[in-house]
Chains A and B, each alone.
Chain A
Amino acid sequence: MNDPINVLTLFLFNIVLINIPLLYGTVGEIVVEKAGSLDLGVEGTMAVGAIFGYLAGCAANSMVVGLLVSFLAAGLCGALFAVLTVSFQANQNVTGLTITTFGLGLYFFVGKGMGERWPAMTVASALVDGFTARELPLLSKIPVLGKVFFSQNLLVYLGVAVAVLVWWYLNFTKTGLRLRAVGENPGAADSVGVNILLYKYVHLIAGSGIMGLGGFYMALNMSGSFEGSNCWINGYGWIAIALVIFANWNPVMAILGTLVFGFFNTLQIYSGALAGAFPGGLGWLNAVPAQLFKALPFIITAIVLIASSVRKKEGSGQPAALGLNYFREER
């Protein structure tokens, strides 16, 4: 255990394990934002996906049901956002914040309402099994990297697959091209016959659904233990929104972004172990107060936002019509 290489490997392994929900949240938000909608409700959407996915997964004792229900429940949050902002033209920022408040409220309402009947993850063998690490043949034999990247649970691989798939969808399909046009210039897309309403609804729901998968992941990673005071999502939704900007609206870059943020996020847990394993090089980690580590991801978030706001316009992946509602007959 005290072998420095082992400690380092475990640290890196946990960066991936703990932070994959960020990837789901970020990729989901990228889909939503590419449709021109700024949904600040990621935190609430993930919470709703988490609790309903977990409860359904336990009840049915099935990973597939858990994933499906978390996708649908979170998708409903996306549908609500779409009804309010697309059909009723409500302000997107306010609506997004409302979704967060609503989602967290629903999370605690359902969780506390369950009381004694709250299912422990141990009774749902399928969930436990589904979340155990699977070593990929050959790749997992690579020293260090094999353990870090290729000996993870199925949802980690799924997350990366979703990110790559969304990247391909956005850049290499015609529906992806039209989606980007909707986010860049809905008037232009509309004028050539793209159904703006349909594109917005479908992608707000799908994007929110992907966030919900991240919520489900967090539920399993927390072993399904419900606390009345703390939500599983624990601010990941907010970091995901910043990660979208860090990744420059590119789902593949989001994988890298997740690892970078994950590094700082995981440092607080492993600072002691790292300091012990490398007393010469990293001993100073022990001197850093724990509060600073806790704050680090958010400090980094702030720095990313500042850095990206001074980034040159050209080459930015930010949809030009992000946050603006579209109304065809506007004069």
Chain B
Amino acid sequence: MEERYAIEMRGICKSFGSVAANKDVNLNVKPGEILALLGENGSGKTTLMNMLSGIYKPDSGSIFVDGQEVSINSPEDAKRLGIGMVHQHFKLVDVFSAADNIWLGDDKSGAVLKKDRYDVIRDMAKKFGFDIDPRKKVYNMAVSEKQTLEIVKVLYYGAKIIILDEPTAVLTVQETVKLFDVLRRMKAEGHAIIIITHKLNEVLEISDRVAILRKGEYITTVDTPSTNEQQLTEYMVGRKVELNIQRPVVEKTRPLLEIRDLTIKNDEGALAIDHVSFYIRGGEILGVAGIAGCGQKELCEAIAGLRPIEGGQMIHKGDNIVGLPPKAILEKGISMSFIPEDRLGMGLAPSMSITDNMLLKKYDQSKGPFVDRKTGRAEAKQVIADLEIVTPSTETPVRRLSGGNVQKVLLGREIKAGPNVIVTAYPVRGLDINSSYAIYDILNRQKQDGVGILFVGEDLDVMMGLCDKIMVLCHGKVMGVVHAHKTSKEELGLMMTGALDLSHKYEDKPAGIAKDSRIGENEEVEE
């Protein structure tokens, strides 16, 4: 007898306008199995899974649940069929308690809300081995707590098939280990699990089989024990890829940017950066690691002059830059590029062309009242050529480009201005392997030219390969600065959660202050 699949997709096609997101995709999962869905960004992984969760409808193809053909027209259908999805961007109502977020989709209880729902949820979570506080509001939760809540939610609705979209992207190493334990336990209980990811080491660690998509097309499904990183990468990218990040050794200069005792508040008025000191030399990449929302954004904004600071000093080549307008900071050669989660939110005007985006930072340098588009276009052409940006023309609106190309435009413009300090946050966020390596190359070339780079990142493997030193932030405090080639993921993970504090490792030297600083330890820079 043929083995029954918990879920099977056959010949699934889905297009958005003229873009084919999925072409003839086949996929199946057995109960008690973990399937990894692997693919670069934009390969259609999330689209495919959203057809199981009822967000999209396939244009053609069929879906079988437990051998029965089904049509999933809405999330409600998916829920009824026992399919639960933990989305990458959590689908939680921030102002509701944990229990209410689950209660929202509950069909069993009566019309009036009763207090006992908190106990029901707590008991149910305990049964599955989770510890959640049902009264805790979502906005007070850490990312890993929100994820746990999402998993409890789909289990409460009786999901047999659980889909997780990039679940580890927001977790620390230790939290990932915990999550994998949970997944293994659910697998043992007979759940079918699909995990979307582009991290190869995780695929090899957790999955039983791997299905690979490339540019919307189904490539193959392989058994995990019989494959390796190199093979998976080739399937994913379509050709051989060198997986080592370069870290050229460059002669370092004296500190370019020195941050002393910096304190910044976030939008809610809480401390985002708490008495932080560090410095960046020319010719080095200083990585900033930390769980999302640990003050990275506020730090970048403060350096660029976009956010007022509460206290402390920011010194660039011996000059105070606190209180300077963003434009003046820019003219000193400090460039900031921040790629937010939606990737288009900051730095570029999405509906404007590449040329116009190039001109954004220097529109006032042209003579006369008219915009000098000619030089802008020439610069755009050069950036397109230098960074191998794929675009129909220099006049294409930026939002029409793919994510990698958008980010290249942003970095390209920043580099074009000839900065001596580059602050870049998540420059490879959401990019595929090829584009990511292109960005690393760009940064390395800048480093070799003597530029000091502050690299705020999320992938520890990448940071350990690319950066010279890594500074770890935890709730706005520096947990220490370590040499990238001497540290380990475990050490960084412990520092990110605040369990390990190396900030006072060297007693003879105050933390975060260079020996060859341009100013003394307690010296104030003149305004």
Contacts and interface: CB of A to CB of B under 8 A. Distances in A.
A313 B101 CA distance: 20
A20 to B, nearest CB: 28
A185 B269 CA distance: 24
Interface in A295-331: 312-314, 320, 328-329, 331
Interface stretch (B72-80, B186-194, B250-258): B72-80
B130 interface: no
Given A177-B100, A177-B104, A178-B104, A320 B112 contact: no
Counting chain B residues whose Cβ lies within 8 A of the other chain, the interface size class is: 20 to 34
B111 interface: yes
A193 B394 CA distance: 44
B201 interface: no
B139 A314 contact: yes
A216 B100 CA distance: 37
A52 to B, nearest CB: 32
A171 B92 CA distance: 18
Nearest to A176: B113
Contacts of A189: 93, 104
A270 to B, nearest CB: 41
Given A329-B55, A331-B16, A190 B109 contact: no
A192 B75 contact: yes
A192 B268 contact: no
A175 B268 CA distance: 31
A191 interface: yes
Contacts of A192: 75, 79, 91, 104-105, 153, 157
B147 to A, nearest CB: 14
Q: Is the interface of B mostly helix, strand, loop or mixed?
A: loop
B92 A193 contact: no
B103 interface: yes
5 nearest interchain CB pairs? A192-B105, A193-B76, A188-B91, A191-B91, A184-B93
Given A185-B93, A328-B55, A191 B75 contact: yes
10 contacts: A173-B112, A177-B103, A178-B104, A185-B91, A189-B93, A193-B74, A195-B76, A312-B269, A313-B267, A331-B16
Contacts of B53: 191
A313 B95 CA distance: 11
Contacts of A176: 113
A119 interface: no
A172 B105 contact: no
Interface string B95-122: 1100011011110011111000000000
A178 B111 CA distance: 11
Given A177-B104, A193-B79, A188 B92 contact: yes
Given A175-B111, A191-B87, A193-B79, A181 B56 contact: no
Contacts of A193: 74-76, 79, 105
Contacts of A194: 104-105
B92 A190 contact: no
B234 interface: no
Interface residues of A, number: 28
A188 B93 contact: yes
Contacts of A174: 103, 106, 109-113
Interface string B58-97: 0000000000000000111001000001010011111110
Interface in A197-244: none
Contacts of A283: none
B79 A185 contact: no
Contacts of A130: none
A253 to B, nearest CB: 17
Nearest to B55: A328
A146 interface: no
Nearest to A192: B105
A187 interface: yes
Interface in A146-164: none
A201 to B, nearest CB: 16
A176 B267 CA distance: 30
Contacts of A172: 112-113
Given A174-B106, A320-B95, A329-B56, 17 more contacts: A172-B112, A172-B113, A174-B109, A174-B112, A177-B113, A178-B104, A184-B93, A184-B94, A184-B95, A190-B75, A191-B75, A192-B157, A193-B76, A194-B105, A312-B269, A314-B268, A329-B55
Interface string B256-292: 0000000000011100000000000000000000000
A174 B107 CA distance: 10
B272 to A, nearest CB: 15
A191 B85 contact: yes
A320 B91 CA distance: 13
Contacts of B16: 331
Interface string A259-300: 000000000000000000000000000000000000000000
Interface in B115-140: 139
Nearest to B269: A312
A314 B91 CA distance: 19
A331 B14 CA distance: 14
A185 B103 contact: no
Interface in B233-263: none
Contacts of A329: 55-56
Nearest to A318: B95
B112 A184 contact: no
A173 B111 contact: yes
Contacts of A320: 94-95
Count chain A CB atoms within 10 A of each CB in B75, B110, B268 and give the residue with the most. B75
Contacts of B90: 188
Nearest to B16: A331
Count chain B CB atoms within 10 A of each CB in A172, A175, A181, A192 and give the residue with the most. A192
A192 B155 CA distance: 12
B112 A185 contact: no
B268 A181 contact: no
A193 B55 CA distance: 11
A181 B113 contact: no
Contacts of A312: 268-269
A329 B74 CA distance: 11
Contacts of B269: 312
Contacts of B95: 184, 320
Contacts of A314: 139, 268
B511 to A, nearest CB: 33
A148 B271 CA distance: 49
Contacts of B92: 185, 188
Nearest to A193: B76
A181 B104 contact: yes
B96 A181 contact: yes
A118 B94 CA distance: 52
Contacts of B109: 174
